[in-house]
Structure 1
Amino acid sequence: MDKEVQQYLDRVHESDFAMLSEVDRICKKHNIQYYLHGGTFLGAVRHQDFIPWDDDVDILFLREDYERFLDVYEKEADKRFKLLRFERYPQFFDFITKIADYDLTYEETSFGAEDYYEHRYSHPTLDLFVFDKEADNHKWQLIRMKLLYALAMGHRPYVDYSKFKGVMKVVSFLLTTVGKCIPFKVIAYKYIKLQTLGGLAKRAPEGAEGAGDETTLFISNEQPDPRYWGLDFDADHLIYGPDTAKIRGKEFPIPKNHDKWLKKTYKDYMSLPPEDKRVPMHVNVIKKNEDRSL
């Protein structure tokens, strides 16, 4: 990675650290449990910092804590860090609520269409992922969520149908076309209802380990991505209280069984990807590679 790109990413990481520290402050004040997630979790364990080429922050809540966080965040947070609740907007980016640092604006993002989203996502972002209980018929729950995702794609500025093959290309075209006719907010609230079909995922009582009476959880607002989509996490993956890992010398919470978790999602997680895969995912500072890795 050349010096200019690294300097730019250093500025992004300053922003990422400021957002994460503000979230951590609010969560501690209100006794809200969260964990580092995704590349942020991996970076804290493998690099004791952000992954050098990663450009956003990922954290994870149980549903109960997520709802409590949304209730207090906008009253408590520095106004520079704006909460972007996906269900509030008429356009579809994904089903992930984000926090954006409006003190830093990207010149260009990897997905384009900044004007379509009114530049909401042209900033460093912190993504809020949610653990929900699986419904009794979880496979059918996931199928319905995928269908809603396809309908929601109709509310993006464009869809790259070349990613689909054969009959799936036709199906995706039909679903996105139908989705354009349905207001996105209708789709969004149906998606939220499906996320919570299995009931509210709660914390265990004070002093007990685990995630309440939940035995099987899933990350309900992931994109249909093979890394996390459909993965089951039993209570053994999520034990309270958490361990911690450092980012820039500050301790942040991670799942206690982090080795088991990271092996489940990244396999040999301590090994670095090939050098040509070490690229930012969102900010367009170098030529992008379709197959990005952490």
Structure 2
Amino acid sequence: MEKEVQEYLDRVHESDFAMLCEVDRICKKHGIQYFLHGGTFLGAVRHQDFIPWDDDVDILFLRKDYEKFLEVFESEADKRFKLLRFEKYPQFFDFITKIADQDLTYEGTSFGAEDFYENRYSHPTLDLFVFDIEAGHHKWQLTRMKFLYALAMGHRPYIDYSKFDGAMKTVAKVLAGIGRVIPFKVIARQYIKLQTLGGLAEVHGEKKTLFISNEQPDPRYWGLDFGPEHLIDGPDTGIIRGKEFPIPKLHDKWLTKTYGNFMALPPEDKRVPMHVNIIK
């Protein structure tokens, strides 16, 4: 890895660890259960640290714990950490609430349009993912969530239509055009209603099938559900920088379901930061 990129990652990992420790402190104080998720979860198991080339943090809550965390975070957290609730802004980035470390600022990002987003995402971020209960007609629930995602794209600064093939490109353009005239906050409210259509996931080990409702439409998680056995009897622990953090039960099964052979490293050309590599 080039020296400049490594220096960038060293600084970002310091920021990531500070955010994660602050979240952990607040959750322990208020009896809130969370779990490491995504690349952070994978890193804690495979590397016993952050993935060396990863440059953000992912955590996961059951819905009830997520709502409680949002209630207490701003009054408890160090002011360097800003809560970015997706439903509070007129622009669409994704349906994920984030925490940003304002002590570190990027000159540029991989997604660009920093001015459009008022520089909210020009910092290292920690993403908050949510476990919700699948509704009775879950496939229809997911279809409607996809529809709202397409409408929400009308509130992005640009859309890469090369990702769509054939008729889907036309559909995406039409839906984004319609979505552009609907205030994003209206779309966001409808999305949250769909997330919680199956009720509030609040009891650890509850006999319900769960899904990560704000990962969509990531192909790795789209339509992927998890049984309650992953949460029974509380969490296991993973290691980040020598400190223990909670990870889901049956983590081998979970990571295999998500990544396949999760202990295998990706090709070397894929071991690069996903967001930016320039810091002010």
**TM-score (ref. length: structure 1):** 0.93
Gaps of 5+ in 2: none
Q: Which runs of 4+ in 1 moved over 4 A?
A: none
Q: Identify the residue that residue 198 of structure 2 maps to in structure 1.
A: 198
Q: Identify the residue that residue 100 of structure 1 maps to in structure 2.
A: 100
Q: Identify the residue that residue 280 of structure 1 maps to in structure 2.
A: 273
Q: Identify the residue that residue 234 of structure 2 maps to in structure 1.
A: 241
Report sequence identity in percent. 81
Q: Identify the residue that residue 258 of structure 1 maps to in structure 2.
A: 251
Q: Note the C-alpha offset of 1:107.
A: 1.0
State whether residues 94 and 223 of structure 1, in contact with CA within 8 Å, keep that contact through their aligned partners in structure 2.
Answer: no
**RCO greater where, 1 or 2, for CA within 8 Å and sep 6 or more?**
2
Q: Identify the residue that residue 291 of structure 1 maps to in structure 2.
A: none
State whether residues 239 and 257 of structure 1, in contact with CA within 8 Å, keep that contact through their aligned partners in structure 2.
Answer: no
State whether residues 108 and 122 of structure 2, in contact with CA within 8 Å, keep that contact through their aligned partners in structure 1.
Answer: yes
Gaps of 5+ in 1: 205-209, 286-294
Q: Distance in 2 between matches of 1:125 and 1:230?
A: 25
Q: Note the C-alpha offset of 1:284.
A: 4.1
Q: Identify the residue that residue 143 of structure 1 maps to in structure 2.
A: 143
Q: Identify the residue that residue 23 of structure 2 maps to in structure 1.
A: 23
Q: Distance in 2 between matches of 1:279 and 1:3?
A: 13
Q: Identify the residue that residue 55 of structure 1 maps to in structure 2.
A: 55
Q: Identify the residue that residue 45 of structure 2 maps to in structure 1.
A: 45
Letter in 2 for 1:279: V
Q: Distance in 1 between matches of 2:179 and 2:233?
A: 40
Q: Note the C-alpha offset of 1:203.
A: 2.0
Q: Distance in 2 between matches of 1:240 and 1:94?
A: 32
Letter in 2 for 1:276: D
1:32 paired with 2:26, answer no
SS at structure 1 position matched to 2:52: coil
Q: Note the C-alpha offset of 1:225.
A: 1.4
Aligned residues: 278
Q: Identify the residue that residue 188 of structure 1 maps to in structure 2.
A: 188
Q: Identify the residue that residue 79 of structure 1 maps to in structure 2.
A: 79
Q: Identify the residue that residue 230 of structure 1 maps to in structure 2.
A: 223
State whether residues 5 and 277 of structure 2, in contact with CA within 8 Å, keep that contact through their aligned partners in structure 1.
Answer: no
Q: Note the C-alpha offset of 1:162.
A: 1.1
Q: Identify the residue that residue 292 of structure 1 maps to in structure 2.
A: none
